[in-house]
Structure 1
Amino acid sequence: MSAGRSGGGAGTADAPAVVWFRDDLRVADNPALRAAADSGRPVLCLFVFDEESAGIRPLGGAARWWLHHSLAALADDLGQRGAPLIIRRGPAQRVVADVLREAGAAAVFWNRRYGGAERRIDEAIKSAARAAGMEATSFAANLLFEPWTIRTGSGTPFSVYTPFWRACLAAPPPRKPLPAPRELRRASPVDGDALDDLGLLPTAPDWAGGLREAWEPGEKAARRRLVEFLDEDVARYRDDRDTPGIAATSRLSPRLRWGELSPHEVWHATAEARDQTNAAGASAFVSELGWREFAHHTLYEHPDLATVNIHREYDSFPWPRLHPAALRAWHQGRTGIPLVDAGMRELWTTGIMHNRVRMVVASFLVKNLLVDWRRGEQWFWDTLVDADAANNPFNWQWVAGSGADAAPYFRVFNPELQRTKFDPHGDYVRRWVPEWDTGDYPEPIVDLAETRRAALAAFDVVKKAR
């Protein structure tokens, strides 16, 4: 990686600083962008669409849809500040090196990622840039606490959530959010790809109508939703968040997944909005940020989280032969189990599913249909707008019993009891399964009691392996 072209290079005042965007598609509280702006150098903003590097998992369809629109919003915001967004596709190590060379860059900044493949790529780029005489710096931006800073008394990572979060709350508080730069010095342009050329949007067929109706990606929309939630909904969050028929959740998960908001912004905005009337709801909401942290810290320790059981005794679980018709019925929300079908149809239509219902549909797949949790994780990866490399497999392993602080193997959510408890008037089910009480609804594809007994018998193999 050479310093580059005539008139550039690390030694000249007009050599640009490159900001490499990833899962941090925002201008506010973006330490990498802030560092570039504060350097006084021209700023070149870069996004690399990488589906080629070893270990990088290609995005699912719903995530690709969100990424397209979030990138469009980011490009508009950066352009207004004087630094157009350059988009390229290809393996990040090669593409970033090419851009640094072509731009004659003096520095490259980015915000850290915590997956195994991502860390290897980032370290290789950092080493090559520094060897070429450039400044290369990464920043903490997308977690409240860096994974290596939260440890047990013996110096090991936590495997149980409650003591983990207690340790987080006892640590120095998360830093205050950084302001967005008002203006960026424009760097000499380098070539890029058109956003549409990435092919992120569905075309044949265009199945994204429900996503367009449900969401407006982008930092401005994310900030509006945060303010709305804290003004109107957080007071009842603790009491109503498990009721899927009530709009009581934050709907911020895709905003955090794509970095349209930082967790620091959410943390401090919640603290500032907290008062006597909403203290319980605010505390419950912040604890969900803690669960997100726990998932990412677990990914840092277990880079193969999406494919390998954390508790390896689950490797001996005797998954039966897959019945494609049962899996297809689960995909389509046609199992004859009302709450399961409602959740799966909500997912397909909107790219999201209520968290309580996520647990129910996951338990039904793994413990009533006896389908390997990895198949469910793959379906969610393709259909969730908020699917990320930490939360998605972490939560599937939690339900399956194989993960960190997991639900015990003998816990099998009864979807009918869950429906009567959390959707007692059927508001949620009727919205997504209108035929439920019309006489046209099918019989359940399995008997819940019989399949629960079969699951407990199968999981007894794991119990004996412990």
Structure 2
Amino acid sequence: MKLTSSLVWLRRDLRVFDHVALHQALLESDKVYCVFVYDTTILDTLPRRDRRVDFIHASIAEVASELEQMGGHLIVRHGDPVHEIPALAAELGVEAVFCNHDYEPQAIERDATVERSLRAAGRQFASYKDQVIFEKSEVLSQTGGVFSVFTPYKNAWLKKLAADPSVLAPYNIEPHAARLAPRPAHAPALPTLADLGFEPSNLSKLKIPTGMSGASALFEDFLSRIADYNVARDYPAVKGPSYLSVHFRFGTLSVRHLVRTIVDLQERGAGGEGAAVWLSELIWREFYAMILFHNPHVVGTSYKPAYDAIEWETGPEADQMFDAWCEGRTGYPLVDAAMLQINQTGWMHNRLRMVVASFLTKDLGIDWRRGEAYFALHLNDFDLASNNGGWQWASSSGCDAQPYFRIFNPVSQSEKFDGEGKFIRRYLPQLKELSNKEIHAPWLAPRLLAPGYPAPIVKHDEARKRTLERYEVVKKPSTGQ
């Protein structure tokens, strides 16, 4: 039975193309309203110049403009969605609310609360898969179990995709756009950052592309160099990554479109090894989303419970070392440059995320949760599942993580992946006089060549020994599926 009217609630899907919930609402309803809620339960915890709020604000403006061009309108609210969505549904008199799945524990609880309120008022609530290709229990082992090791998961994921490529089919909006509810005569203007209690960040100065158009431009640029991704991605001074991570986080792009494009490249014999490696990175993203869904205990505790027995460094000295790590004052140039990159831009190269995480947990002996929380506050692309998975991988406490005895050497990593010191010099100009050999270990060079740069806060070889002793309390983890 067709609905008279419905409401589409945008969250991590800030676009108006290939959008499952919007598509379904338009198919099932005579009139469709759209809403985005600036969630105060999240915003109230953020600094007043948060780049993510800037990004969302710009992206929402583009969504609103696109809807207007199609004859629709975007309603914007500022408050707690648990109250705002049921209240708006009642105000509009809609029969149902449509949205796309969010797999984070707090979001699942939020949606369950909203659904209960709506159903108590006689309204429907419908949620759909949109931000991943395969979700929850759609990719299982041959025995029906949940994977805990990436490679067999990836193989099963690819096999499932090959068996049913229809999962990549687009959910078109334009053919049904006539059912979008038009802009009311006295609709308020979109709220400014000031209306939301925020100030402009340095997002525009950094020239970070926002919205659907920004995502499209970045992807088109990446396609021109994707064949080299498998090699270029490891070098922070090289334009190797796609730089799409923040767009994944806020859904300004369609993952179906991206995977369709990669599959098409591969079928035409194009894209090289780079395309295959980038697709693997997309599958890693879904792997961590699946892990979080099935193991919500990873929020706050180790995936492998035995690793919670590790005694991390605490006290004033540990706090001082943590502050030095946060502020880029460890005395290890690659680590410090990476931390200055995240502090100044809200982004960090993936290779460097592994390096700094290994340094914090295995050189400084500081709990991975402290680093995870710092990244959560500063990363433009912060995603709970991927951030948690990455930190637990580095600390060896996660599923399919690196062995605890694998400890990145920050000097050899620097020599291998920033051999000429180009990345280091970008963020540490005080080291510009050092040679390409000296810049990786400035404490070995004459101090006058590196004025004001600190000596290492720990000696890597000694720290490595302490880490191996620290991890002795951990029993060998059992092998996953």
- Give the TM-score of the pair, scaled to structure 2: 0.87
SS in 1 for 2:126: strand
Shift of 1:58: 5.0
Q: 2:462 aligns with which of 446, 450, 457?
A: 450
Aligned equivalent of 1:161: 150
Task: Report if aligned partners of 1:222, 1:261 keep a CA contact under 8 Å in 2.
Answer: yes
Q: 2:88 aligns with which of 91, 99, 122?
A: 99
**Which runs of no fewer than 5 residues in structure 2 stay unpaired?**
435-448
In 1: Cα distance, 2:182 partner to 2:207 partner: 37
Q: 2:56 aligns with which of 31, 54, 67?
A: 67
SS in 2 for 1:109: strand
- The yes-or-no answer on 1:89 pairing with 2:89 is no
Opposite residue 468 of structure 2, the aligned amino acid is L
Question: Cα deviation per residue 1:16-65 (whole Å; 9 max; x = unaligned)?
Answer: 32000010001111011112233352221111233439xx9956734333
Aligned equivalent of 1:195: 191
Shift of 1:221: 1.1
Q: How many residues align?
A: 449
Task: Report if aligned partners of 1:339, 1:419 keep a CA contact under 8 Å in 2.
Answer: yes
Shift of 1:277: 4.6
Question: Cα deviation per residue 1:281-326 (whole Å; 9 max; x = unaligned)?
Answer: 1101100000000110011012243311111111111112242221
Task: Report if aligned partners of 1:47, 1:86 keep a CA contact under 8 Å in 2.
Answer: yes
Question: Cα deviation per residue 1:123-147 (whole Å; 9 max; x = unaligned)?
Answer: 3433443454434321111111021
1:242-391 alignment runs, 5 A limit:
242-274=234-266, 275-322=268-315, 323-391=318-386
After superposition, the CA RMSD in angstroms is 2.5
In 1: Cα distance, 2:363 partner to 2:226 partner: 35
- The yes-or-no answer on 1:221 pairing with 2:210 is no
Task: Report if aligned partners of 2:58, 2:211 keep a CA contact under 8 Å in 1.
Answer: yes
User: Alpha carbons of 1:237 and 1:16: their partners in 2 closer, same or farther (altered >3 Å)?
Assistant: same
Aligned equivalent of 1:430: 425
SS in 1 for 2:289: helix
Aligned equivalent of 1:5: none
Aligned equivalent of 2:5: 16
Q: 1:176 aligns with which of 169, 172, 176?
A: 169
In 1: Cα distance, 2:196 partner to 2:321 partner: 30
Question: Cα deviation per residue 1:68-100 (whole Å; 9 max; x = unaligned)?
Answer: 222222222222222222222333222111011
Task: Report if aligned partners of 2:8, 2:35 keep a CA contact under 8 Å in 1.
Answer: yes
Shift of 1:200: 6.0
Shift of 1:273: 3.4
In 2: Cα distance, 1:414 partner to 1:97 partner: 53
In 2: Cα distance, 1:192 partner to 1:310 partner: 47
Shift of 1:197: 5.8
- Give the TM-score of the pair, scaled to structure 1: 0.89
Q: 1:459 aligns with which of 471, 476, 481?
A: 471
Opposite residue 22 of structure 1, the aligned amino acid is R
Opposite residue 458 of structure 1, the aligned amino acid is R
Aligned equivalent of 1:439: 450
Q: 1:26 aligns with which of 9, 12, 15?
A: 15
In 2: Cα distance, 1:319 partner to 1:30 partner: 44
User: Alpha carbons of 1:445 and 1:187: their partners in 2 closer, same or farther (altered >3 Å)?
Assistant: same
User: Alpha carbons of 1:197 and 1:215: their partners in 2 closer, same or farther (altered >3 Å)?
Assistant: closer
Q: Which piece of structure 1 moves more, 306-315 or 123-132?
A: 123-132
SS in 2 for 1:16: strand
Shift of 1:113: 1.0
